[in-house]
Amino acid sequence: MNRGSPVIEVRDLIKNFAVSSGFFGRPGTFLRAVDRVSLLIRRGETLGLVGESGSGKSTVGNCILRLLQPDGGQIFFRGRDLAAMNRRELQTIRGRVQVVFQDPLSSLDPRMTIKRIVGYPLTVSKQVRGAEVEDRVLAMLREVGLGKDHLHRYPHEFSGGQRQRIGMARALITEPECIMLDEPTSALDVSVQAQILNLIHDLQKRHGYAYLFITHDLAVVRHISHRIAVMYLGLIVESASKDTLFENPCHPYTRALMASAPRPDPFNRQDLAVLPGDPPSPVHIPPGCRFHPRCSSVMDVCRLEAPPRVRIAADHEVACHLYPST
């Protein structure tokens, strides 16, 4: 599979949310959920986007899907700026970027049968009709390990893992190039999670999809990703290829994240409380480096200046004052 040609490129993406609408229509306060985030998702490659709640990782995904309107920056699909496209051009791109959500039950309409759920991306666009829809749906169900006897059932008649397969089938039917996987396995049990991760992996091998895999689980992201970006409070603090990141994590937050994830190894008990405090709310972003109130290696400069992104190796960028740009 030829890996490498960029499918989605995000440059300096900014997204603000209004916290309060203000009094009598005066502008209220804003929170910056995503601050100048840049990403590159290549064909046949999985980019893991890791972060805790409030880090803005899902907001980045929703901007790429055009579910949210970005407040700044650009998103390119196959080199074309989405913002510069008109309605008709956008319509042709619809379906080329697809999504699979975290909760497999609430992402399927409980009132629709599997045939309608999986088939409706086709019926909506009116490209395909009648019996052909059923054929295509069936082909997709087979692709994700389901079959003909599942066509006329409702989502609640399936187990969590099967529902996530249905979600995959719906995403695949429009022949997308990029699929955003928003915590696709975190609502599933371990044994089912393994099945779904294997499926996700196999589909990429077969079709060369570009994945944006959003998760908080480092073990999962380590298993599935080729490259990883770590987000904290709307900012990418470190990005590298998977092996580089796990062999040489540089940002103190990345290290803390790795250290506090419980490992299934009872012979080496970890000190789990490596990072004090809670992730601060994005409404009150600390000045300087956003991580400094929780950082163990905080310096004076961290409280004043936001660190720039520094390239410390070919495929390794980090935003921390410990690694000054030279």
Partner 1 sequence: MDAAFTSRHPRLRELLLTLKILSRNPSAVAGALIIGIMAFMGFSADLLAPFDPIRINLSERLNPPGWGHLFGTDEMGRDILSRVMHGARISLRIGFMVVAAAGMTGSFIGAAAGFLGGRIDNLIMRVMDVVLSFPPLVLAMALAAAMGPSLNNAIMAVAFVMVPKFARIVRGEALAVKEMPYIAAARVSGAKNFWIIFNHILPNCMNSVVVLATLTLGETILIAASLSFIGLGAQPPAPEWGAMISVGRKFVMDQWWYATFPGLFILFTVIGFNILGDALRDVLDPRIRR
Partner 2 sequence: MLDYGKTLLSIRDLSVRFATYQGLARVLEKVCLDIKSGEILGLVGETGCGKSVLARSVLRIIPSPPGKIAAGTISYQGEDLLQISETRMRQVRGNRISMIFQEPMSSLNPVFSVGNQMREVIRLHQQVSKKEATRIALDMLRQVQMPDPAAVLGKFPHELSGGMRQRVMIAMELSCGPDLLLADEPTTALDVTVQGQVLAILRRLAGEKGVSVLFITHDMGVVAQICDRVAVMYAGQMVEVAEVKELFSAPAHPYTRGLISAIPGAEGEKGAEHLYSIPGVVPGLIDPPEGCRYHPRCEKKRAVCTEQTPVMVKLHADHDVACHCCGPSREEGRP
Residues 194-223 that bind partner 2 (CB under 8 A): 194-195, 197-198, 201, 216-220, 222-223
Q: Does 275 bind partner 2 (CB under 8 A)?
A: yes
**Per rule CB under 8 A, is residue 160 in the interface with partner 2?**
yes
C-alpha torsion angle, residues 70, 73, 79, 83 (rounded to 10): 40
CB 41, min distance to partner 2, A: 20
Q: Which of residues 120 and 246 has its CB atom nearest to partner 1 in the complex?
A: 120
Residue placing its CB nearer to partner 2 in the complex, 82 or 182 = 182
- Closer Cβ to partner 2, 34 or 199, answer by number: 199
Q: Which residues pair with residue 291 across a beta bridge?
A: none
Alpha helices in the chain (DSSP H): 57-64, 87-93, 114-125, 130-143, 160-172, 190-207, 218-224, 242-247, 252-260, 300-304
Helices 114-125 and 130-143, interaxial angle, to 10°?
120
Shortest CB 201 distance to partner 2, Å? 7
Tell how strand 235-241 and strand 227-232 pair up: antiparallel
Range 171-210, binding partner 1 (CB under 8 A): 174
| Residue closer to partner 2 (CB basis): 223 or 316 | 223
Number of residues that bind partner 2 (CB under 8 A): 46
Among 67, 219, 272, 301, binds partner 1 (CB under 8 A): 67
Give the shortest CB-24-to-partner 1 separation in angstroms: 16
At residue 216, the 3 state secondary structure works out as coil
- How far CA 151 is from CA of 12, 113, 141, 168, 303, in Å, comes to 43, 7, 9, 15, 58
